[in-house]
Amino acid sequence: MTLSAADLQAASDLLRRHWREGSRLACLPPRLRPTNRAEGYAIQALLEAGSRAPLFGWKIAATSAAGQAHINVDGPLAGRILAETVRESGAAVSIGANHMRVAEAEFAFRMARDLPPRLAPYSRAEALDAVAALHPAIEIPDSRYEDFTVVGAPQLIADNSCAQLFVLGPAAPETWRNVDLVRHAVRGAVTGKSCTLDREGRGANVLGDPLVALAWLVNELSDLGVTLKAGQVVTTGTCLIPLAIAPGDTVAADFGILGQVSCRIM
């Protein structure tokens, strides 16, 4: 079955209502359920119409084999970062009805120029050449599905690939271009009343290389006929096992010479 424009809008409206109310659903109704990635992205694209500002950027979900196995998908998923979900480093972040309750430390890239759709795939080098700056970042994902591990890639994509909140740190020194991001260590820590977590990961956990992940996102958008625009930010997926969080915690991600980013969980 091919979803009509009305079906796509109804699916988007239903997911948006659950996000607004903080409620969850088992899955989309059969008549509104995307059966392939293209339909999932078509539903996701309608989210922008309800945003108060131009699109801030993009996220990539499931950039590790463990992450893909956890949500039962066979590859990465792209999602939109809406402007109203973005916070600055050090901000208080309310997780409210968030169900996942995890934070992820990620490499994020701000683009210097547009990368429009084209027939030939973009290379890692071309993606790197289009980057203006590297930022340390924290993503706090969530889903409106009761069990997001069983609904499949099309429905996850429709639900914005589990995008919810995003914390952007300050730009790294320009010397980041001389850093081997694959081997670069990233530490994530949570401090709170009930527990303390401290974990280390590396850029290699992000599709083998955060810049490979960036190129994947550019090509995924290109296949969809979407331009990755100058000024938009792409966050490339978690470098370490996600950190469990709760209200009252402080989350910090230390990227060493590339900078730090943190937030307070409310």
- What's the pLDDT tens digit per position in 77-122? 999 999 999 999 999 999 999 999 999 999 999 999 999 999 999 9
Q: What is the mean pLDDT of residues 154-166?
A: 98
Domain topology for 54-265: Fumarylacetoacetate hydrolase; domain 2 (3.90.850)
Q: How far apart are CA 154 and CA 15, in angstroms?
A: 13
- For the chain, give every domain's residue range: 54-265
**Looking at residue 70, what is its pLDDT?**
86
Full strand arrangement of the beta sheet holding 196-202? 92-93, 260-265, 250-254, 185-191, 196-202
Q: Which ranges of the chain would DSSP assign to H, the alpha helix?
A: 5-21, 37-45, 65-71, 124-129, 153-158, 210-223
pLDDT band at residue 229 under the 50/70/90 scheme: very high
Contact criterion met (CB below 8 Å) for 29 and 54: no
pLDDT band at residue 196 under the 50/70/90 scheme: confident
Contact criterion met (CB below 8 Å) for 190 and 196: yes
Is it the case that residue 1 has pLDDT exceeding 60? no
Residue with the bigger pLDDT between 204 and 50: it is 204
- What's the pTM value of the predicted model, to 2 decimals? 0.96
